[in-house]
Amino acid sequence: MDFGLSEEQRLLRDNIVKFARGVLCEGAGARDRDQVFSRDLWRRCAEIGIQGLPAPADYGGSGLDALSCAVALEALGYGCSDGGLTFSLCAHILACVVPITRHGSDEQKRRYLPGLCDGSFVGAHAITEPGSGSDTFSMRTRAERQNGGWRLNGTKTFISNGPVADVAIVFAVTDAAKGFQGGITAFVIDRETRGFSAGQKFEKMGLRSSPVGELALDDVFLPDTAVLGQVGGGSAVFATAMDWERSLLVAAHVGAMERVMETSINYARTRRQFGQSIGKFQAVAHKIADMKVQLDAARLLTWRAAWRLENARTASMEAAIAKLFASEALLKTTLDAVQVHGGYGFMVEYEVERALRDAVGSTIYSGTSEMQRNIIARWLGL
Ligand SMILES: Cc1cc2nc3c(=O)[nH]c(=O)nc-3n(C[C@H](O)[C@H](O)[C@H](O)COP(=O)(O)OP(=O)(O)OC[C@H]3O[C@@H](n4cnc5c(N)ncnc54)[C@H](O)[C@@H]3O)c2cc1C
């Protein structure tokens, strides 16, 4: 088994780390404090091809395989200390660009992918509703047949990029009798569509430079050409988005874990108490050794899930395992990093408190840890 990266993958990783450190980190603390999403940085990311990583070159993307995308997103998570921006990019790429690439008609790909890749559009993926989160398919948003199209009504909530999105994939019930299999349809909606609007933007604990909010559909009329995939095929579109998001968003977590671990090593080497560096205390060193074990395990699980996305019949269980392990490892690593930094870790200036706040959501979005365990148990026949 070969665990090495190819020359192209190494170059991709080095370029993204250099770009992220040089361009994306400055001002991250202020953007977090003020909850600012930067369109300027969004465009700068597009200039080096981040938004279009997995999209075909014909539509303005880089056409990378899933494993290379994982390498790229890990590099982004490692180099970029603005966790909100990284999160917004991942939501855009994995839950909007990928489903349109995989399920879109030629017309939809021509219409949306070039703008989603070149940074002119921000994408969102909207399934959660005020009354349906983990129980996703109990959604109340309805799409009714009308004059060669569909009339949509409902409200989506907690939508990443929702407040600034130009394009959104929105799920609605089209046949209540069929339920989850065959009764849900995905639609692609433009920001300007009449009746479609961004509702309140939420104030959050972490990922504060990534805007999250509500999307309202008030008698929105969409033509048949807005259906993504098949009528009744929403569960397949959702499964694609979740498999990619669970496998590759956590690649960015792996990068963040490595950055936070390195910060902790540097601090443990330089901070002195009782006449020696605190890293010489076993209680501190073991915390950092555990960070390394979790980092390596999370990386391997992520690479396996990413590889399976394109080389195996299904990646669903492996994606759930990677998501569960890497998100919980990220949370533990960032909490331990604060502890290693002592009182300084609790202060905003040292950035590890921000990494911890950013990490908390990771065990909730893309399906909570409890739901990942449910998925894994189901695959085990339980
Ligand atoms: C930062 C962030 C970004 C997000 N971005 C998006 C987005 O872009 N698009 C989108 O559609 N949604 C998004 N979400 C929503 C996210 O997917 C939901 O919050 C998540 O699925 C949980 O749903 P809920 O919040 O309604 O919690 P609930 O489903 O109400 O769960 C509450 C608690 O009950 C537990 N629970 C529920 N059912 C079970 C069960 N069967 N077994 C065991 N435990 C269970 C949960 O694990 C959790 O601990 C985002 C959320 C966050 C925090």
Atom of ligand 1 nearest to the CA of 206: 1
Look at residue 2 and tell me if it is in a domain.
no
Look at residue 344 and tell me if it is in a domain.
yes
Question: pTM for the complete prediction?
Answer: 0.98
- Predicted confidence (pLDDT) at residue 180 exceeds the cutoff of 90: no
- pLDDT value at residue 26: 97
Domains of the chain: total: 3
Residue whose CA is at the smallest distance from ligand 1 atom 35:
370
Q: Per-residue pLDDT tens for 265-314?
A: 999 999 999 999 999 999 999 999 999 999 999 999 999 999 999 999 99
> Is 90 a pocket residue for ligand 1 (Cβ < 6 Å)?
no
> Is 361 a pocket residue for ligand 1 (Cβ < 6 Å)?
yes
- pLDDT value at residue 74: 98
The vertex-224 CA angle with 196 and 61, nearest 5°, equals: 75
Residues 66, 76 within the same domain:
yes
Look at residue 66 and tell me if it is in a domain.
yes
- Predicted confidence (pLDDT) at residue 1 exceeds the cutoff of 80: no
- pLDDT value at residue 196: 98
Single residue among 92, 122, 152 that ends a domain in this structure: 122
User: Hey, which of 35, 86, 98, 128 would you mutate to test ligand 1's pocket, going by the most ligand atoms within 8 Å of its Cβ?
Assistant: 128
- pLDDT value at residue 73: 98
Residues 92, 193 within the same domain:
no
Residues 105, 157 within the same domain:
no
Mean per-residue pLDDT for 202-208?
98
Look at residue 288 and tell me if it is in a domain.
yes
Residues 239, 212 within the same domain:
no
Q: What percent of the chain has pLDDT over 70?
A: 100
User: Hey, which of 138, 158, 204, 246 would you mutate to test ligand 1's pocket, going by the most ligand atoms within 8 Å of its Cβ?
Assistant: 158
Atom of ligand 1 nearest to the CA of 124: 8
Average pLDDT of the chain, as a whole number: 97
- pLDDT value at residue 350: 87
Residues 39, 79 within the same domain:
yes
- Residue 75 belongs to a domain with what CATH number? 1.10.540.10
Rounded Cα distance between 234 and 211, Å, is 25
Residues 244, 313 within the same domain:
yes
Residue whose CA is at the smallest distance from ligand 1 atom 23:
133
Look at residue 140 and tell me if it is in a domain.
yes
Residues 116, 128 within the same domain:
no
Catalytic residue, candidates 74, 129, 214, 245? 245
CA 133 to ligand 1 center in whole angstroms: 5
Q: Per-residue pLDDT tens for 305-363?
A: 999 999 999 999 999 999 999 999 999 999 999 999 999 999 999 899 999 999 999 99
Q: Per-residue pLDDT tens for 8-41?
A: 999 999 999 999 999 999 999 999 999 999 999 9
Atom of ligand 1 nearest to the CA of 160: 8
Single residue among 169, 199, 233 that ends a domain in this structure: 233
Residues 131, 222 within the same domain:
yes
Single residue among 100, 122, 144 that ends a domain in this structure: 122
> Is 371 a pocket residue for ligand 1 (Cβ < 6 Å)?
yes
- pLDDT value at residue 85: 98
Residues 117, 41 within the same domain:
yes
Residues 94, 166 within the same domain:
no
| Residue-number span of the structural domain to which 202 is assigned | 124-233
Residues 308, 328 within the same domain:
yes
- pLDDT value at residue 2: 78
Check if 192 is active-site. no
Residues 253, 207 within the same domain:
no
